[in-house]
């Protein structure tokens, strides 16, 4: 059981909180590079409970700074992005992407003290079409997480962002809970109506899979497994990766290179950042599961994703049109007729509805966790131990010093022959035999 006190440790991310301190040890994806134009309008950015401002200067460099002008605290969102910096419209003070005051025109020249004034600014890096921000105090932080997908050519990577109206942890936990798939996403499907060659068949044939769960160098890992005929096992491997990443088993393990970030905007809002290889055989590229007669299985596809226009509000970016105010588009008729188990169209929207329906922050004391929740309990313990070790003795959490540990993580499904090997050996052997485009390019 997770206590109320532990829940606060896990979910609060503002300055000075244990989890906020842990999150600030890492580079976090904050917005798409395409959201910022040279000398264009600045963007309000909420990240880890802080109100920030992002802008791109004349030279193309990106700045992420506290939105308040250090002079009188007027918002620099109202400022003029011009000639190498953002100028406050209140008194004309101007700041570059590093937060340095570079002009103080309202002060007589002989009393100018701009060299003493600095807006709080965070380090920025651009990669894979994203602006990454490091909000920690380290003088020289390590590089981005070493996800294999980030090493692929930019034109082979796709990035999507979607905001979720709930705490980051419950959003992430929806990803590492594999037991829900046979119900939330496929509870209306009779296994006899699905071809045995479709991986979806195994998920709905046995809706109570067995699990292996363990700590991993990058965080935690589970292997859900089911019988797949005589002498064969259907495996679904997935990962939690520090500080707020997951890898879901929704693709063929051999090529499924991706990373799914659950970036805390504040304690009650999360930005889902999905980075994936376009050439992978995954849910994004494979056809929607179908019945034996070829009819698509309702509710199992990518439907339901309708986006609202971005606004300039603090939480106005990448919002879904379906939310609690319209019951996430639930169709009670389809639910009652068992056309869609949940009555909600599309796997992502189904997950969104479930995690948002829990409220802004889950009441952990109300839960009754089951054996199928082992990955969730282990991940919470791993996070708590890491946050407490950082606070008590300055011990860096996994990946904060060595981003290369993430290269050993991949998720996906596959069928393997039964044998004497331990489940970790099954994983390691399958990973070694999997597709690694970058390595192939180096050897050619």
Give pLDDT tens digits for 85-98: 999 999 999 999 99
Q: Which of 67-71, 263-267, 418-422, 427-431 has the lowest mean pLDDT?
A: 418-422
Confidence category of residue 444, pLDDT binned at 50, 70, 90:
very low
Are residues 28 and 47 in contact, defined by beta-carbon separation less than 8 angstroms?
A: yes
Ranges in the chain annotated CATH 2.102.10.10: 27-142
Residue the block writes with tokens 């807006």: 119
- Give the sign of the dihedral formed by CA 329, CA 376, CA 222, CA 265: positive
State mean pLDDT over 259-265: 98
Task: Tell me the CA distances in angstroms from 118 to 93, 140, 192, one per residue in order.
Answer: 11, 19, 66
Q: Which of 72-76, 136-140, 351-355 has the lowest mean pLDDT?
A: 136-140
Chain-wide mean pLDDT for the chain? 95
Comparing CA positions, the residue from 388, 384, 375, 363 lying closest to residue 10 is 384
pLDDT > 50? residue 442: no
What angle is formed at CA 92 by the lines to CA 30 and CA 74, rounded to 5 degrees?
A: 55
Question: How far from chain centre, in Å, is Cα 339?
Answer: 30
Local structure of residue 365 (DSSP, 8 states): G
Residue the block writes with tokens 């400022």: 79
| Dist. CA 128–CA 153, nearest whole Å | 8
Confidence category of residue 443, pLDDT binned at 50, 70, 90:
very low
Are residues 203 and 227 in contact, defined by beta-carbon separation less than 8 angstroms?
A: no
Give pLDDT tens digits for 130-179: 999 999 999 889 999 999 999 999 999 999 999 999 999 999 999 999 88
Give pLDDT tens digits for 185-194: 999 999 999 9
For residue 309 the two structure tokens come to 């226009």
Are residues 170 and 52 in contact, defined by beta-carbon separation less than 8 angstroms?
A: no
Contacts of residue 68, defined as CB under 8 A and 6 or more positions apart, other chains included, come to: 51, 74, 75, 76, 119
Are residues 421 and 212 in contact, defined by beta-carbon separation less than 8 angstroms?
A: no
- 252 forms beta bridges with 413
| Dist. CA 323–CA 308, nearest whole Å | 11
For residue 254 the two structure tokens come to 């051999």
| Dist. CA 47–CA 8, nearest whole Å | 18
At the topology level, CATH places domain 27-142 in: Rieske Iron-sulfur Protein (2.102.10)
Comparing CA positions, the residue from 145, 131, 150, 375 lying closest to residue 258 is 150
- 162 forms beta bridges with 272
430 by DSSP, 3-state: which? helix
| Dist. CA 317–CA 43, nearest whole Å | 10
Contacts of residue 393, defined as CB under 8 A and 6 or more positions apart, other chains included, come to: none
Are residues 263 and 273 in contact, defined by beta-carbon separation less than 8 angstroms?
A: yes
């Amino acid at each position: 059981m997770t206590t109320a006190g532990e829940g606060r440790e896990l979910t609060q991310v503002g300055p000075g909180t244990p989890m906020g301190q842990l999150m600030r040890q890492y580079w976090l994806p904050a917005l798409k590079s395409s959201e910022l134009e040279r000398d264009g309008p600045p963007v309000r950015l909420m990240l880890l409970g802080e109100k920030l401002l992002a802008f791109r200067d004349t030279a193309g460099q990106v700045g992420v700074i506290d939105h308040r002008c250090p002079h009188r605290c007027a918002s620099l969102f109202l400022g003029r992005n011009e000639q190498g910096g953002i100028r406050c419209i209140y008194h004309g003070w101007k700041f570059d992407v590093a937060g340095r005051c570079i002009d103080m025109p309202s002060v007589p020249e002989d009393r100018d003290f701009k060299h003493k004034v600095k807006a709080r600014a965070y380090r920025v890096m651009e990669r894979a079409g994203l602006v990454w921000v490091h909000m920690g105090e380290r003088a020289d932080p390590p590089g981005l997480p070493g996800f294999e997908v980030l090493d692929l050519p930019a034109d082979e990577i796709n990035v999507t962002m979607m905001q979720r109206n709930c705490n980051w942890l419950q959003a992430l936990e929806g990803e590492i809970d594999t037991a829900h798939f046979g119900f939330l996403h496929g509870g209306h499907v009779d296994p006899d109506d699905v071809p045995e060659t479709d991986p979806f068949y195994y998920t709905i044939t046995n809706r109570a899979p067995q699990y292996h769960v363990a700590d991993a160098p990058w965080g935690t890992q589970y292997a859900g497994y089911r019988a797949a005929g005589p002498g064969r096992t259907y495996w679904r491997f997935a990962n939690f990766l520090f500080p707020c990443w997951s890898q879901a088993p929704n693709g063929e393990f051999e090529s499924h290179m991706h990373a799914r970030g659950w970036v805390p905007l504040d304690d009650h809002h999360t930005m889902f950042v999905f980075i994936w290889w376009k050439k992978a055989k995954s849910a994004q590229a494979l056809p929607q599961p179908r019945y034996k007669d070829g009819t698509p299985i309702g509710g199992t596809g990518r439907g339901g994703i309708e986006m609202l226009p971005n606004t300039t509000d603090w939480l106005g970016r990448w919002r879904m049109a379906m939310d609690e105010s319209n019951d996430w588009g639930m169709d009670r008729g389809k639910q009652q007729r068992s056309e869609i188990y949940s009555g909600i169209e599309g796997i992502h929207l189904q997950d969104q509805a479930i995690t948002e329906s829990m409220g802004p922050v889950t009441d952990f004391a109300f839960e009754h966790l089951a054996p199928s929740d082992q990955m969730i309990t282990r991940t919470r313990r791993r996070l708590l131990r890491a946050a407490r070790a950082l606070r008590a003795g300055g011990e860096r959490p996994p990946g904060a010093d060595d981003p290369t540990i993430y290269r050993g993580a991949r998720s996906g499904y596959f069928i393997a022959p039964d044998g004497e090997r331990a489940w970790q050996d099954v994983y390691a052997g399958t990973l070694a035999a999997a597709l690694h485009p970058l390595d192939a390019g180096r050897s050619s």
